Amino acid sequence: MTKEVTATRFEAKRLESFAAAAFVALGIPESDAAICAARMIEADLLGVDTHGIFRLPHYAQRIRANGINLHPNVHTVRENAVTALVDGDNGMGHVVMTYATHLAIKKAEESGLAWVGTFNGNHAGAGATYSSMPLAKEMVGMYMTVANANHMAPWGGVELLLGTNPISIAIPAGEEPPVVLDIATTMTSYGKVKLAAQKGESIPVGWMVDRKGQPLTDPKRSSEGFLLPIGGYKGYGLNVVIGMLAGVLNGAAFGRNVVDFNKDVATRNNSGHMIMAMRVDNFQPVETFKKEMDHAIREIRESERMENVDRIWLPGEMEHERIRERKEKGIPLATVVVANLNHLAAELNLQDRLE
Amino acid sequence: MTKEVTATRFEAKRLESFAAAAFVALGIPESDAAICAARMIEADLLGVDTHGIFRLPHYAQRIRANGINLHPNVHTVRENAVTALVDGDNGMGHVVMTYATHLAIKKAEESGLAWVGTFNGNHAGAGATYSSMPLAKEMVGMYMTVANANHMAPWGGVELLLGTNPISIAIPAGEEPPVVLDIATTMTSYGKVKLAAQKGESIPVGWMVDRKGQPLTDPKRSSEGFLLPIGGYKGYGLNVVIGMLAGVLNGAAFGRNVVDFNKDVATRNNSGHMIMAMRVDNFQPVETFKKEMDHAIREIRESERMENVDRIWLPGEMEHERIRERKEKGIPLATVVVANLNHLAAELNLQDRLE
C-alpha cells in the first residue's frame, strides 16, 4: 500500500508529457520517449510508484553515463510462428519490452499462443504493464524478469546471487476487473527496506536475515544480510526458475553477471525478460470463459470474511481501483519526488515544471 | 524430507507391477493400469511418497465407489497447432495427464511451444512427473493443477475455497541434473498436518491460522482453521491464478465446485490440470543453453554457504539424488503402508504380497 503523505496530485497526462519531454531532452527519439513515458505513468496509475516517474532521475543518470543505447536496433534474432528471441540492443527496457509484448500478442492472435524472450535489455518498470497488454485481445498474459540487482542468497547460502525476480500473470474477466498478479518472489523489495531505514523504522521478522540466518530487523544493517524468499525454499526455487526462464534461456544476465543498476549506472545490464500471450478462446468461447471468471471472482470476494476484515481482494483488484481513483484525482507525488523531477528539468533546460 | 523409519525397501519394478496388477484387478485396462502404476512409482522414486503407491488404497476406494470411469474416452475437444483442451472423461488422472503431456510434447516438437489444458480429470499424482516429461526432448515443462480438496481461505477470508494449487517447472541442463521445481503454493500440505496430529506433535507457527487469523499450532484442531499461503497475500494471489489457469480456463472445478476427494470418493471431481512444453532451441542452440544452465547451477551450488549448512541444493536436485538412491536400494515403505497394500491385495484376490 502506498502512503500518500505530503503529496501533490498531478494529472496522468501531465506527468506523461513531462517524462516524455525529459527523455527527448536526454536524446531518446520521440516515439521511444513516448513509450517509456507511457509505461512509467501506467505504473504510477497502478500504484507501483517505485516503477513510475519516481525513477526518471535514475534512468537519466544511466543515460548520461552512456549506460543506455539511445538509438537501439531492437530486433528479433530467432523466430518461429509462436516464439521469438529479441535482442534489445541495450535500449530502454520499456522500449524493448513493448516491442516484445506487441510481437507476442501478434503471434498469439495468429496462432493462439506465443512466448517471446528478450536479452540485452534494461529495467522495464512494472511487470503488470506488460502482462496486462494481452488482456484487450482476450488473452492471458504472463511476464517474468531477472531483477536488476541481487539482494537474495540461495537457500542455505550467503552470496547475493539472486534478485527479487518477479512474475506477473493477467487473466481477463467479464464485468469484473481482470485478475492481475504481480509479485516479487522475495518477501519484500529492497526499496521498502531502504525506505524503513530512511524513516528510522524497524522491519518485520521474516523480511531479511543476516549471514548466520538470524532475523535482521534493523534496516540500517541491511548490507549485512539479504532478503528472504516467499515460503522459504519454495520461493527460492520459484525465484531461481524465473531467473532461468527470463535470463539463462535468453542469454541474459543471471547470478554473478547481474549488474546492480543502482550502484553501477554505466555497465551494460543485459537484462532478460519474457512475455507470454495466450488466447482464452483456445479453451472456451470468450463469453463463457468471462462468465466463469466473474463467477469465480465473486465467489471469492463475497465469501465469509475474517473478523475486522472489510473486504476480500482479488489479485490486481486494489490496483484496478487505484487506476480509477488516480485517473480521476491525479497521481500523488511526494514533495521530494517533485523536487527531484524539477531539478532534472532544470538540468535539461526544460521549460516545464511540476507545480 | 522423508523420514524413513521402520521401513522396508522394495525394488521400483516390483512395486510398479504390484500397483499395475491391483489396477487391473479393479477393472482398469492393462495399458491404462501400466500408466497409473508408472506415474505413481515415479513419484515414489522422487520421494513424493504421498503421491506414490501409498495412495493406491485411496484410488481403489474411489474406483469401487464408481468415482472413476474405468474405460474413459480421453479426447481432445478443441485444438490448434499449439494448444488443446482435453476431456478426461472422468478417467484416472494419471491416464488423462499422460495423454495431455504426450500431446503437448508432440505439438511442441512440431511448433516449438504448446499448452494443453484438461478438465473432467482426477488426482494425477506428483506434478514433477509431468513437467519433467518434456526434458528428454530438450524442452522446458510447466504443470499446474487445482488441488483436490480446499484447505485454504482467500486472504482475509475464512471459507475454504482454495486448495494447495501446485506449480511444477522443469528446465533441462547439461552434465548437471535438470532444475525441477515442484511446490504447493501453501506453506505446507494438509497431509503433513495430519501426520503431525497422528504423531502428537505440534506444527510450526506460519503453517496454519484459525478463523481469527491467530496461529494454530495444534494439528488436532486443524478443522478449526486453514493452511497459509507462501508469502502471505503473494502466495494467495499465485494460488488463485494457478487455479484459474488450470481450472476455470479448462471448465474444470474451482472454488466451491472442488470435491474433497478424501471425504467424498464417489462424486465426479472434474479436476483440472495444464501442461506446457517448450523447446529450448527456440532461443538458444541446445548445447549452448545446457552449458549456460550448468554454469548457473554450479555458480549457485558452489557459492558461499551459511555456517552449519553442508550443501546448497538446486530445485529438484534432492529428488534427483533420491531417484538414484532409490533405484539402487529400493523404495522404502513404512510397515503400515505395506500392511494396507497387502490388505488391498487380499481383497482383490491377488497372489502377490509385499514382503
Q: Are A113 and B83 in contact (CB under 8 A)?
A: yes
Q: Which of residues 194-213 of B touch A (CB under 8 A)?
A: 211-213
Say which CATH number the domain at A200 has. Answer: 3.30.60.50
Do the domain assignments include residue A312? no
Residue from the list A81, A237, A254 with its beta carbon closest to the beta carbon of B181: A237
Under the banding of pLDDT at 50, 70 and 90, the label for residue A4 is: very low
- Cell of residue B182, nine digits: 515442484
Residues B280 and B335 in one domain: no
Contact A241 B300 (CB under 8 A): no
- The shortest C-alpha distance from B141 to chain A (Å) reads 11
Q: Looking at chain B, which residue has its C-alpha nearest residue A119?
A: B283
Residues 6+ apart with CB under 8 A from A111: A81, A82, B80, B81, B82, B111
What is the ipTM score, two decimals? 0.97
Residues B90 and B233 in one domain: yes
Residues A247 and A342 in one domain: no
- CA–CA separation, B300 vs A227, rounded Å? 16
Per-residue pLDDT of chain B (355 residues; tens, 9 = 90+): 444 468 999 999 999 999 999 999 999 999 999 999 999 999 999 999 889 999 999 999 999 999 999 999 999 999 999 999 999 999 999 999 999 999 999 999 999 999 999 999 999 999 999 999 999 999 999 999 999 999 999 999 999 999 999 999 999 999 999 999 999 999 998 888 988 998 899 999 999 999 999 999 999 999 999 999 999 999 999 999 999 999 999 999 999 999 999 899 999 999 999 999 999 999 999 999 999 999 999 999 999 999 999 999 999 999 999 999 999 999 999 999 999 999 999 999 999 999 8
Residues A211 and A335 in one domain: no
Q: How many other CB atoms are there within 10 angstroms of residue B42's CB atom?
A: 23
Do the domain assignments include residue A175? yes
- CA–CA separation, B275 vs B269, rounded Å? 19
Do the domain assignments include residue B137? yes
Residues A179 and A192 in one domain: no
Do the domain assignments include residue B256? yes
Do the domain assignments include residue A352? yes
Residues A152 and A192 in one domain: no
CA A255, chain centre distance (Å): 19
Residue count of chain A, please give it: 355
Residues B156 and B252 in one domain: yes
- CA–CA separation, A144 vs A165, rounded Å? 7
Say which CATH number the domain at A349 has. Answer: 1.10.1530.10
**Domain tally for chain B?**
2
Specify the DSSP class assigned to residue A228: P
Residues A219 and A162 in one domain: no
Do the domain assignments include residue A197? yes
Burial class (CB in 10 A: 0-12, 13-18, 19+), A196: buried
Half-sphere exposure of A143 (CA within 13 A, CB side): 31
Do the domain assignments include residue B206? no
Residues B241 and B125 in one domain: yes
Q: What is the pTM of this model?
A: 0.97
Mutate to test the interface with A, among B244, B245, B304 (most CBs of A within 10 A): B244
> Which residues share a beta bridge with B162?
B152
Do the domain assignments include residue B208? no
Domain carrying residue B94: 72-186+229-302
Residues B109 and B164 in one domain: yes
- Cell of residue A167, nine digits: 512474475
Residues A331 and A344 in one domain: yes
- The shortest C-alpha distance from B300 to chain A (Å) reads 7
Residues B178 and B244 in one domain: yes
